[in-house]
């Protein structure tokens, strides 16, 4: 695992922490000072950033890319570019078609990369992540709710109910589904990125 000599791992890890849900940052920083698992992706193993909508995956992508020395791909952006369709209307008009396209897109990417997947990926395609080093990006329900209430660029997933009802139901349903997918906690990954003398 490589990092630029101009940007020591500690600095890069701190950059990642600063992009996570601020309600969780103090606890994550504290956890990094304690012993725990230190998983690392194998050479050639694809690293996937997964988690809820609004968790900060797209923001974290370039920061994790610098930490790993890999090029990052935002799968939603990749899909919009290759298909020429905005996700907001695609998900609303043809959700099954979109889900099939996002699954196919991940599986067609060269192995060994770094990919941020959309908020529904872990729920809809857990088997597509077999063999991947899947990092779960944590977010509290409070932050998730605040971000989705203010970001009107995201597609509605259940327009037949109020936005508040949609936010609550999808969050809790996906929490249960995410728990069934083999994932690596972000804090464990960051601990593994630090040298023993570089604990935050």
Q: Where are the domains of the chain?
A: 45-186
- pLDDT, residue 161, reads 94
- pLDDT, residue 120, reads 94
Per-position DSSP letters for 169-196, written without gaps between them = HHHHHHHHHHTTS--EEHHHHHHHHS-G
In this prediction the pTM is: 0.90
- pLDDT, residue 92, reads 86
- pLDDT, residue 194, reads 85
Nearest to 109 by CA among 135, 85, 74, 133: 74
Residues of the chain with pLDDT under 70: 1-7, 195-200
- pLDDT, residue 28, reads 96
Second CATH level (architecture) for the domain 45-186: 3-Layer(aba) Sandwich (3.40)
């Amino acid at each position: 695992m490589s990092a630029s000599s101009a940007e020591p791992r500690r600095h890069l890890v701190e950059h990642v922490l600063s992009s996570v849900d601020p309600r969780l940052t103090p606890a994550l920083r504290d956890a990094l000072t304690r012993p725990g698992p230190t998983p690392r992706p194998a050479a050639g193993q694809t690293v996937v950033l997964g988690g809820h909508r609004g968790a900060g995956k797209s923001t974290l992508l370039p920061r994790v890319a610098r930490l790993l020395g890999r090029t990052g791909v935002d799968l939603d952006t990749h899909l919009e570019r290759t298909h020429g369709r905005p996700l907001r209307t695609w998900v609303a008009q043809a959700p099954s078609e979109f889900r099939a396209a996002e699954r196919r897109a991940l599986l067609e990417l060269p192995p060994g990369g770094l990919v941020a997947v959309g908020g529904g990926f872990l729920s809809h395609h857990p088997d597509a992540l077999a063999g991947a080093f899947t990092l779960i990006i944590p977010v509290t329900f409070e932050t998730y709710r605040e971000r989705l209430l203010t970001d009107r660029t995201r597609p509605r997933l259940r327009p037949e109910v109020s936005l508040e009802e949609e936010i609550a139901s999808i969050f809790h349903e996906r929490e249960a589904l995410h728990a069934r997918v083999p994932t690596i906690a972000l804090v464990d990954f960051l601990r593994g990125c630090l040298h023993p003398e570089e604990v935050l």
